[in-house]
Structure 1
Amino acid sequence: MRTIDWIPADDAEREPGRGFIRLVDQTLLPDSLVELDIHDLDVLVDAIQRLAVRGAPALGVAGALGVALAAQNLPADLARQAIAELREARPTAVNLAYGVDTALAALERGGALAALEAALRVRDADIAACVAMAERGTDALTRLIPDRAALTVLTICNTGALAAVEHGTALGVVAKLHRDGRLVRAIACETRPLLQGARLTAWELGRMGASYDVIVDSAAAITLARGGVDAVLVGADRIAANGDTANKIGTFAVALAAARAGVPFLVVAPETTIDPATPNGDAIEIEDRGGAEVRFFRGVRVTPPDATALNPAFDVTPADLITAIVTDARVIDVVAGDTPASDTPAARPVAAETTE
């Protein structure tokens, strides 16, 4: 099963490139596994904004495939307007803009079929990148924690196959630890207010047969302080040039607790999540999703009727709280002073192993 993919239309042989987007509706998990067929760009934008599809890598693929969908279904002027709206659907996640821009550049050079070909390359690159990150991530953990063959790891939000096309980023590393017989237990923070950890990460861990616990977000600090966690693995929605990292709200608090407990804190994300144009975390736009998600859960009000709420979807973890950033091309040793913009052996991409 793929979280998101392009499905060729029945008449694609007569009209090459025609098709639609199929994606898992993550709002219905873990109760129901339902796939949506997306034929219109406004439906895709809605799916992105209501988190039917989410996760930085998956959003990049959605953005690229969305350009292909617009190009085949809309006149050029309407397509451009719709594509611009798609690009801004989730402002914090840089991969969405990356996917849109990549396919849009191909559209302008070579038309609708070129846009689809570029989008499919974005999809395939994500699959390869996740495999590479799992390898680099497990190797990095071996170097950081050489005295423990098997590990207990803590994570927040969902960074598994549901956040990508097939494998995932941080949870992809957890999955490889499990396959290699090196995972003692995974601890998943519930991830308020929409419970991506309790609903999605727990569902993925259960499907892979891994041992796991779900904890409330506010229990992460005491869990780390008690010494039962060997490493923290998180994803990212945007990584600034200096290494500051935007991720799901609550990640900053986990990083603070990990630093206090002396537990390695690893960010796992593809190279495409690094934004060289963003100098530091202060320059990252933080999406506010409105108070309804805090005041209500699945249609049930959980606050007094007149309560107001703040709902930042992300926070920024400063680079000085991060041990390493693991991408598909390199491991950036942040503790040693390297940054995504560094030109040092530890931070420089390995050309022979890149996915592009």
Structure 2
Amino acid sequence: MSKESTIKSGELTTISWEEDGVRIIDQTKLPESLEFITCSTYYDIADAIKKLAIRGAPAIGVAAAMGLALCAKKSTGPTKPTLLSDLKTAYQILLSTRPTAINLKWGLDTIMEVALKYDKVEDIKDAVIQSAINLSREDIAINKRLGGYGSELIKDGEVVMTHCNAGALATVSYGTALGVIRSVKQSGKKISVIATETRPVMQGSRLTAFELVHDDIDVSLIPDTAVGHLMANKMIDKVVVGADRILSTGHVYNKIGTYQVALLANSHKIPFYVAAPMSTFDLKNEISSIIIEERSKDEVIKIGDKRIAPAGVKIFNPAFDLTPPELISGIITERGVVYPPFKENIAALFEAKSNIGN
């Protein structure tokens, strides 16, 4: 795994396939510096996902797909069965990195389906690599379509709150929730953004604020504890967040703290929208089967290298929470906005997708 450091203007690209490996922005270094890591093996990809060097549901879905592509490229298996065996090993290692976001499994399953279609080893390798590259290109196009639909919900001059980071850094580029905000700006409307800091890893302050400042979009950063105060004082017009998994019922798993933002928005009659591609929907599982990832206690008891909690204190650090559908005004996708009743309308959305054939 190699590193480089550079700062460029223009759109941020979180992950890309290069001749020497998969190039990703190391998000653990932001906002102090914009550094890139080149992952040469699927082990490097798995390590980057675990360490949050790359994060965000769509981004890790593409990263996992590219991890399998790296595995295929480097496999010395001379036959289809041996190559598939290598891919299955990589699949399990990559799948185990983060359990809550559905896009990771979606990316892996998409690549495995492609691998099974071919018989010759070289054909499998070529198809797997090209499919991973295609997923990255499609992600950008999907985000821009999603952003266009979301932009129609935002009026000129409104103030939009967002939580965590669902921007270019959570996708290949452009973003979901921040894709909506970018699309609003590109449409010529004025917009101001309130970003929560998003404890304990500070994705709002480190990543969302970084992105919006980078794009010259008006943004103010607030402590997580200030959300209710701003809403009570009518300082927020709408809320737009991303998602890591959306069930067929409209239940949304997203960064910890999303649920309380939704509760407060509902209490103050502020529209609360979720922006996510259709690859984030999980139509098979129910709440009882979803694992909420728990992360290291160090994320809570330390800021940088400084300890902020006493030795011996117990720590509970869930990475995600569940927002029920009754708190959600609409779900913005690349095929339009889904409104309540979510169970019926999500089913109709996927039925229409199936009929179109893509």
CA gap of 1:348–1:67, structure 2 versus 1, over 3 A, is closer
Report the equivalent of 2:17. Answer: 6
State the aligned residue count: 335
Calculate the aligned-residue CA RMSD, in Å.
2.0
Per the alignment, in what secondary structure is the counterpart of residue 325 of structure 1?
A: strand
**Which has the larger displacement, 194-203 or 175-184?**
175-184
Contact conserved, 2:325 with 2:342, CA < 8 A, in 1? Answer: no
Q: Of residues 308, 324, 329 in structure 2, which corresponds to 1:318? A: 324
Q: Displacement of 1:341 after TM fit?
A: 5.7
Matched, 1:113 2:113: no
Report the equivalent of 1:258. Answer: 265
Structure 2 gaps, min length 5: 1-11, 78-82, 119-123
Contact conserved, 1:3 with 1:23, CA < 8 A, in 2? Answer: yes
Q: Of residues 315, 325, 339 in structure 2, which corresponds to 1:309? A: 315
Q: Displacement of 1:40 after TM fit?
A: 1.4
Q: Displacement of 1:277 after TM fit?
A: 0.6
Q: Displacement of 1:60 after TM fit?
A: 0.9
1:327 and 1:354 mapped to 2: Cα distance? Answer: 16
Q: Displacement of 1:179 after TM fit?
A: 2.6
Per the alignment, in what secondary structure is the counterpart of residue 37 of structure 1?
A: strand
CA gap of 1:283–1:318, structure 2 versus 1, over 3 A, is farther
Q: Of residues 177, 185, 195 in structure 2, which corresponds to 1:178? A: 185
Q: How does the TM-score come out when normalised to structure 2?
A: 0.89
Matched, 1:168 2:175: yes
Matched, 1:91 2:99: yes
CA gap of 1:166–1:340, structure 2 versus 1, over 3 A, is farther
Structure 1 gaps, min length 5: 10-19, 143-147
Contact conserved, 2:45 with 2:64, CA < 8 A, in 1? Answer: no
1:284 and 1:260 mapped to 2: Cα distance? Answer: 27
Contact conserved, 2:157 with 2:192, CA < 8 A, in 1? Answer: no
Report the equivalent of 2:62. Answer: 61
CA gap of 1:354–1:124, structure 2 versus 1, over 3 A, is farther
1:298 and 1:285 mapped to 2: Cα distance? Answer: 28
1:1-356 to structure 2, matched below 5 A, reads 1-9=12-20, 20-74=21-75, 75=77, 76=83, 77-110=85-118, 111-139=124-152, 141-142=153-154, 148-279=155-286, 281-334=287-340, 337-339=341-343, 342-344=346-348, 347=349, 356=358
1:343 and 1:276 mapped to 2: Cα distance? Answer: 9
2:213 and 2:335 mapped to 1: Cα distance? Answer: 29
Contact conserved, 1:333 with 1:339, CA < 8 A, in 2? Answer: no
Contact conserved, 1:150 with 1:182, CA < 8 A, in 2? Answer: yes
- The code of the aligned residue for 2:300 comes to V
- The code of the aligned residue for 2:128 comes to A
1:355 and 1:269 mapped to 2: Cα distance? Answer: 20
CA gap of 1:53–1:343, structure 2 versus 1, over 3 A, is closer
Per the alignment, in what secondary structure is the counterpart of residue 342 of structure 2?
A: coil
- The code of the aligned residue for 1:125 comes to E
Q: Percent identical across equivalent pairs? A: 38
CA gap of 1:154–1:47, structure 2 versus 1, over 3 A, is same
Q: Displacement of 1:350 after TM fit?
A: 6.0
Report the equivalent of 1:17. Answer: none
Contact conserved, 1:332 with 1:340, CA < 8 A, in 2? Answer: no
CA gap of 1:22–1:269, structure 2 versus 1, over 3 A, is same
